[in-house]
């Protein structure tokens, strides 16, 4: 029997921090489903289809590519986990503030379904300070995020923000609070 975990998140967009966590998660699990939450309660920059495509492009050619699958889900995470016959949720912790956010969520998930356990891995030190929001903030202000996100993501972010600059109407208005980076670091769901 293969061990299967679900790694949920908004992935708007995926970063090298997520990839690092996945790579280490694959040392424990045979297969991981990267599950994009349709209702994460955030106003996303990228559509679900764009996020799926970005993740798939970012995984292409990696040695572990065939042990990962990109999916999206609606509704409760534990219901989705049950639907795919998994028993494990994988989440990353970057800081104590993440723990405060994750702890009640994992307890609630366990209350909703006692069969499902949440496994936490510490985010790689190199990526400890990044989040999808901080990445978008840097790109929108013209900075480089090279080495922090996969190359397809960096390219797509530049395209997207270039379109926003030109005032294209088919792109959602951002989205990115130009927040004090210190606040972004302290708050998981920004």
Task: Tell me the two tokens of residue 98.
Answer: 């993440």
Cβ–Cβ under 8 Å, residues 138 and 145: yes
Asked if 132 is an active-site residue, the reply is yes
**Nearest-CA neighbor of 35 among 78, 93, 95?**
78
Q: How many CB atoms lie within 10 A of CB 181?
A: 14
- CA separation for the pair 190, 184 (Å, rounded): 7
- CA separation for the pair 165, 80 (Å, rounded): 38
Query: Closest separation between CB of residue 63 and ligand COA, Å?
Result: 20
- Site residues, ligand COA (CB under 6 A): 8-10, 12, 15, 17-18, 21, 37, 40, 76-77, 92, 94, 105, 108-109, 123, 127, 130-133, 188-190
Q: Which CB atom, from 76 or from 164, has the smaller least distance to ligand COA?
A: 76
Query: Closest separation between CB of residue 1 and ligand COA, Å?
Result: 25
Q: Which CB atom, from 58 or from 109, has the smaller least distance to ligand COA?
A: 109
Asked if 42 is an active-site residue, the reply is yes
Question: Which of the residues are catalytic?
Answer: 18, 42, 94, 132
């Amino acid at each position: 029997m293969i061990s299967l975990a679900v790694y949920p998140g908004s992935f708007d967009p995926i970063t090298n921090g997520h990839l690092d966590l996945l790579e280490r998660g694959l040392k424990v699990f045979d297969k991981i489903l990267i599950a994009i939450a349709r209702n994460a309660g955030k106003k996303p920059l990228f559509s679900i289809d764009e996020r799926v495509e970005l993740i798939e492009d970012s995984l292409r050619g990696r040695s572990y590519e065939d042990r990962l699958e990109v999916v999206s889900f609606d509704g409760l995470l534990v219901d989705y986990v049950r639907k795919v016959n998994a028993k494990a949720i994988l989440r990353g912790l970057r800081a104590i503030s993440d723990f405060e956010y994750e702890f009640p969520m994992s307890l609630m998930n366990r209350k909703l379904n006692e069969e499902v356990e949440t496994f936490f891995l510490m985010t790689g030190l190199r990526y400890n300070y990044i989040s999808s929001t901080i990445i978008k903030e840097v790109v929108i202000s013209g900075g480089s995020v090279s080495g922090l996100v996969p190359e397809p993501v960096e390219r797509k972010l530049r395209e997207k923000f270039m379109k926003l600059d030109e005032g294209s109407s088919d792109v959602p208005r951002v989205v990115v609070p130009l927040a004090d980076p210190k606040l972004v670091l302290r708050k998981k769901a920004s």
